[in-house]
């Protein structure tokens, strides 16, 4: 049978953590423009409300619903899942995007930079998913598995620390837990995949690519010679969450302009 709606998300409900800024906002754009009802949650309610207002002004079939939540504690995660269970009888898509980083030289890298980063980037993904699996499983259809998409990073794939030691390690952990959960949740008809982005403009990367000079400098280091755009994230989310992606699980999708396969000069080539 030939299908012409491989990327449609009409009638689907999604949750995007940190969905009001940066890569989370790009994922939200992908979901809502494909027709999904998208809940976005983060600590700053005003940011979520502003993003929802802006996207709801477009002529999309989907809608964005903002709420406040903090993923940095077990109670905060429970509050978020309570809200989702209270407002929805179905949840088809979970995008675990919220994250943080910490950059410092090796010699002065502080002890607390490990717990804080791993707590949000790894523990919160695991516990939020754990609590939402029953709803995701109950919402999955035989021809449309429910989806979890984790936001990893190219820094979790290649040994580029850039002083973000705990961050890079946390993103490797995100990729690994993605594969483990993909294996375990297949029998509940839930796919689990990750995006592994390279440089995208956001609050997190503002220090490096917040202006055109920085963007040009960083672009030169990317094999495809540019930083990422909203379309790059939106399209990959639509693929992984649409009908067309329903046979893909355990994938770590590189959205990094080739950084993931950049190994430097050839071994035997001329200088």
Ligand X SMILES: NC(=O)c1ccc[n+]([C@@H]2O[C@H](COP(=O)([O-])OP(=O)(O)OC[C@H]3O[C@@H](n4cnc5c(N)ncnc54)[C@H](OP(=O)(O)O)[C@@H]3O)[C@@H](O)[C@H]2O)c1
Task: Please report how close the Cβ of residue 61 comes to ligand X at its closest, in angstroms.
Answer: 24
Distance (Å) of CA 149 to CA 67, 78, 97, 136, 162: 20, 20, 8, 12, 25
CA 155 to mean position of chain CA atoms: 14
Burial (0-12, 13-18, 19+ Cβ within 10 Å), 4:
exposed
Q: How many angstroms separate the CA atoms of 137 and 135, rounded?
A: 5
Contact residue for ligand X among 18, 245, 254, 257 (CB under 6 A)? 18
CB closer to ligand X out of 177 and 246: 177
Closest CB 33 distance from ligand X, rounded Å: 18
> Considering the complex, what minimum distance in angstroms separates the CB of residue 256 from ligand X?
8
Tell which one of 33, 140, 146, 205 touches ligand X (CB under 6 A): 205
169 binds ligand X (CB under 6 A): no
Q: Are 64 and 28 in contact (CB under 8 A)?
A: yes
Q: Which residues contact 127 (CB under 8 A, 6 or more apart)?
A: 74, 77
Which of 22, 30, 66, 245 lies at the binding interface for ligand X (CB under 6 A)? 22
Nearest distance, CB of residue 248 and ligand X, angstroms = 20
Closest CB 246 distance from ligand X, rounded Å: 24
**C-beta closer to ligand X: residue 71 or 241:** 71
- Could you say whether residue 225 binds ligand X (CB under 6 A)? no
Contact between 148 and 181 (Cβ < 8 Å): yes
In the complex, residue closest to ligand X by CB: 22
Secondary structure of residue 194 in the 3-state scheme: strand
CA torsion sign, 245 to 68 to 168 to 124? negative
**Neighbouring residues of 222: CB distance < 8 A, sequence distance ≥ 6:** 198, 199, 256, 257, 258, 259
Q: Is 199 in the site for ligand X (CB under 6 A)?
A: yes
Catalytic residue among 111, 165, 167, 247: 167
Sole binder of ligand X in the list 17, 123, 140, 146 (CB under 6 A) = 17
CA distance 241 to 148: 8
167 catalytic residue (yes or no): yes
Question: Does 35 contact ligand X by CB under 6 A?
Answer: no
**Which of 71, 148, 192, 251 lies at the binding interface for ligand X (CB under 6 A)?**
71
66 binds ligand X (CB under 6 A): no
Task: Please give the residue ranges that form the binding site for ligand X (CB under 6 A).
Answer: 17-18, 20-24, 42-44, 47, 69-72, 97-100, 120, 151, 153, 197, 199-200, 202-205
Give me the active site residues, please. 167
């Amino acid at each position: 049978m030939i299908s012409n709606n491989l990327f449609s998300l009409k009638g689907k409900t999604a949750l995007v953590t940190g969905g009001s800024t940066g890569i989370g906002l790009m994922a939200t754009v992908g979901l809502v423009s494909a027709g999904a009802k998208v809940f976005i949650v983060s600590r700053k309610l005003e940011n979520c409300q502003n993003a929802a207002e802006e996207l709801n002004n477009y002529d999309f079939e989907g809608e964005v619903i903002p709420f406040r939540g903090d993923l940095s504690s077990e109670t905060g995660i429970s509050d978020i899942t309570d809200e989702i269970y209270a407002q929805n009888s179905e949840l088809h898509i979970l995008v675990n995007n919220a994250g943080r980083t910490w950059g410092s030289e090796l010699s002065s890298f502080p002890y607390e930079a490990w717990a804080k980063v791993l707590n949000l980037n790894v523990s919160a993904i695991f516990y939020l998913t754990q609590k939402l699996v029953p709803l995701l499983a109950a919402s999955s259809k035989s021809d449309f598995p429910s989806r979890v998409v984790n936001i990893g990073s190219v820094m979790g794939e290649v040994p580029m620390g850039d002083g973000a030691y705990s961050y890079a390690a946390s993103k490797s952990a995100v990729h690994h837990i993605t594969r483990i959960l993909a294996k375990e949740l297949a029998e509940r008809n839930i796919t689990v995949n990750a995006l592994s982005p390279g440089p995208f403009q956001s609050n997190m990367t503002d220090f490096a690519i917040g202006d055109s000079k920085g963007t040009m400098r960083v672009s030169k280091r990317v094999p495809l010679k540019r930083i990422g755009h909203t379309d790059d994230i939106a399209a990959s989310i639509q693929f992984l969450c649409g009908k067309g992606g329903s046979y893909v699980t355990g994938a770590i999708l590189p959205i990094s302009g080739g950084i993931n396969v950049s190994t430097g000069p050839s071994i035997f080539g001329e200088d």
